[in-house]
């Protein structure tokens, strides 16, 4: 069954930055018309992150953007976020669904066809598949897929009659976007492309423009 929840084609993922706070990153991404934000933070406790997540939820609400939280299912439930993104070593999507309820969005990370099929079986709303190429943003990176890896995995996935939207991730730059969408990805998730840009609003706008040109 084709998933009914609408998954954006551009996801922005927060990252630690020396001068730009998590909430500022989100404000800038939203100003650049990003409408899907993933709060990813690996070092703080849920308690420390909670006020930041709440402020982010308010910003997202203001712009009509979806907010998903990486890993922290309880925090997502507490602040009534729109959903969670779950890694392979985190809580199972089935468990997360029980906590969050049917209306929330649950995404999961995949690096292989086996991961993709497992996630589809667990009825996730989208699959984050990567990494496309090396990126310093994520520690303990899985093997690089490259364009061929995506083409191969997406074809096999479709042949199993699965239609869960798949989002590419990992070191994606503007020049990569057309070919990534052409091999059948639903969309892309980026962090550095926007968070480390000299002008984050412009970088976000340009990313959206490339995606829209590819999908009309």
Residues that bind Mg ion (CB under 5 A): 71, 87, 90
How far apart are CB 161 and ligand TZP at their closest, in Å?
A: 26
Q: Which conformational region is residue 123 in: left (phi greater than 0), alpha (psi within -120 to 50 degrees), or beta?
A: left
The kind and range of the H/E element at 62 are: helix 46-63
How far apart are CB 13 and ligand TZP at their closest, in Å?
A: 6
Within residues 190-209, the interface with ligand TZP by CB under 6 A covers 190-193
Which residue in 3, 112, 135, 214 binds ligand TZP (CB under 6 A)?
135
CA 142 to chain centre: 16
User: Three-class SS of residue 55?
Assistant: helix
CA distance 72 to 127: 17
How far apart are CB 67 and ligand TZP at their closest, in Å?
A: 16
Q: Which option in ligand TZP, Mg ion, none does residue 177 bind, with CB closer than 5 to 8 A by kind?
A: none
Q: Does 30 bind ligand TZP (CB under 6 A)?
A: no
- The alpha helices in 160-190, defined as continuous H runs, are 177-182
Closest-CA residue to 69 (of 100, 95, 94): 100
Q: Is the Cβ–Cβ distance between 208 and 32 less than 8 Å?
A: yes
Q: Does 177 bind ligand TZP (CB under 6 A)?
A: no
> Considering only 17-25, 73-81, 132-140, 203-211, which stretch makes contact with ligand TZP by CB under 6 A?
132-140
How far apart are CB 106 and Mg ion at their closest, in Å?
A: 13
Closer Cβ to Mg ion, 87 or 146, answer by number:
87
What is the gyration radius of the CA atoms in the chain, in angstroms? 16
Closer Cβ to Mg ion, 4 or 139, answer by number:
139
CA distance 36 to 153: 24
Binding positions for ligand TZP, rule: CB under 6 A: 13, 130-131, 135, 137-138, 169-172, 190-193
């Amino acid at each position: 069954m084709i998933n009914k929840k609408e998954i954006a084609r551009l996801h922005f993922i927060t990252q630690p930055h020396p001068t730009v706070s998590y909430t500022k990153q989100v404000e800038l991404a939203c100003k650049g018309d990003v409408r899907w934000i993933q709060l990813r933070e690996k070092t703080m406790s849920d308690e420390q992150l909670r006020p930041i997540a709440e402020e982010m939820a308010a910003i997202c609400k203001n712009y009509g953007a979806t907010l998903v939280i990486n890993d922290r299912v309880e925090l997502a439930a507490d602040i009534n976020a729109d959903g969670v993104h779950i890694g392979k070593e985190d809580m199972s999507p089935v468990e997360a669904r029980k906590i969050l309820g049917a209306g929330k969005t649950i995404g999961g990370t995949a690096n292989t066809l086996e991961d993709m099929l497992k996630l589809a079986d667990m009825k996730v709303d989208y699959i984050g598949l990567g990494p496309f190429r090396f990126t310093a943003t994520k520690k303990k990176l899985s093997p690089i897929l490259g364009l061929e890896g995506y083409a191969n995995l997406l074809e096999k996935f479709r042949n199993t009659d699965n239609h869960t939207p798949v989002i590419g991730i990992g070191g994606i730059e503007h020049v990569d976007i057309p070919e990534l969408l052409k091999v059948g990805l639903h969309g892309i998730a980026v962090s550095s492309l926007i968070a480390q840009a000299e002008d984050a609003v412009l970088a976000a706008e340009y990313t959206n423009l490339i995606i829209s040109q590819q999908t009309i």
